[in-house]
Amino acid sequence: MEGKTIVITSGKGGVGKTTATASIGAALALQGKRVAVVDMDIGLRNLDVVMGLENRIVFNIVDAVKGKCKLKQAAIKDRRIENLFLIPASQSDNKNALTPEDMIEFSKELRREFDFVLIDCPAGIEQGFENSVAAADEAIVICTPEVSSVRDADRVIGLLYSRSITPKLVVNRIIPQMVENGDMLSHTDMVDVLSIELIGLVEMDDHVVISTNTGIPLIMQKDSKAGGAFRRIAMRINGRVDLPIQIPQTQGGFFKKIRHKLGLSR
């Protein structure tokens, strides 16, 4: 059976695309799938660092696409997780080194080898975005609860629709306390504006910084809330579509809810 290619994109930079790609990829691999994560941020590669594989890169995606090496040579096997492979970006080329046609051909090859191919899309909507989207069957849009992020996500959703891809939404970096106080956009407001299917809500989590810096996958940290959220997102991608979405809440959220129901809080 052919695998699925999913592009992870956002428009805006710094919303957590790379972290999400690494985490969802690791979670899918732990669920027994053969997974490749592809770094398309050519010239500014990061995914290798997040996954702790930076010192094992010999070949990169540009080499693989241009036929300088075989796919198997470019795909780096993860040390800790079976069935997880990284195809790193080139750090010395720029984004015009590849074309959408190249990527369509390359993705056919990837689909034969892997069950899931996750493409980490660069920020922006230029050549790098075009290349990443050309190869994809599905898309996940990462958006943080900020007006600027919502606007960029909206633009990207429009561009994806125009390429006949219906994206799904992940809201990242939710701070429940701020949402409760009305200082942060709630995910319902965001879904109202973006009007696409929501597949996960990820809470702001300090573990992400630790994981990024040490290269230990987020989902292997047991008490990480973000890790748990990404694990559930991976399960939804992997066929468990009916898995309910957990809404991040402050400590004591349950009692607060009861108080709210009784009309004792504002």
Partner 1 sequence: MNSSNQEKIPVRLKGKGNTLCVTLNPLESSEYLKAELNRLFKELNDPSKNANVTIDTGSANGHEELVLELAKYLKDNFGVASVSKPVKPQNKRSSINEEQIRKRDMERSWHDYQTDVLVLTGRVRSGQKVTARNHLVIMGDVNPGAEVLAGGDIIILGGLLGTAIAGQPENENSIVLALDFRPTQIQIGSYVAAGLPSSPGKITEFAHVENGNIIVENYLEANPFGRIPWPQAR
128 is in an annotated binding site: no
- Binding residue for partner 1 (CB under 8 A) from 68, 77, 79, 155? 155
150 is in an annotated binding site: no
List all residues 6 or more positions away from 24 whose beta carbon is below 8 Å from its beta carbon. Answer: 8, 118, 140, 230, 233, 234, 237
Q: How far apart are CA 34 and CA 145, in angstroms?
A: 32
Q: Contact, 17 vs 9, CB < 8 A?
A: yes
159 near partner 1, rule: CB under 8 A = yes
58 near partner 1, rule: CB under 8 A = no
| Three-class SS state of 118 | strand
- Binding residue for partner 1 (CB under 8 A) from 158, 197, 246, 257? 158
Which residues from 187-216 bind partner 1, rule CB under 8 A?
193, 195
256 is in an annotated binding site: no
The window from 29-37, 158-166, 181-189, 213-221 that contacts partner 1 (CB under 8 A) reads: 158-166
Pairing mode, if any, of strands 35-39 and 197-203?
Answer: unpaired
List all residues 6 or more positions away from 194 whose beta carbon is below 8 Å from its beta carbon. Answer: 141, 143, 150, 153, 154, 157, 169
Q: Contact, 3 vs 111, CB < 8 A?
A: yes
The window from 156-164, 170-178, 211-219, 247-255 that contacts partner 1 (CB under 8 A) reads: 156-164
| Three-class SS state of 6 | strand
70 near partner 1, rule: CB under 8 A = no
151 near partner 1, rule: CB under 8 A = yes
16 is in an annotated binding site: yes
Q: What are the binding residues for ATP?
A: 12-19
By CB under 8 A, name the binding residues for partner 1: 147, 150-152, 154-155, 157-159, 161, 193, 195
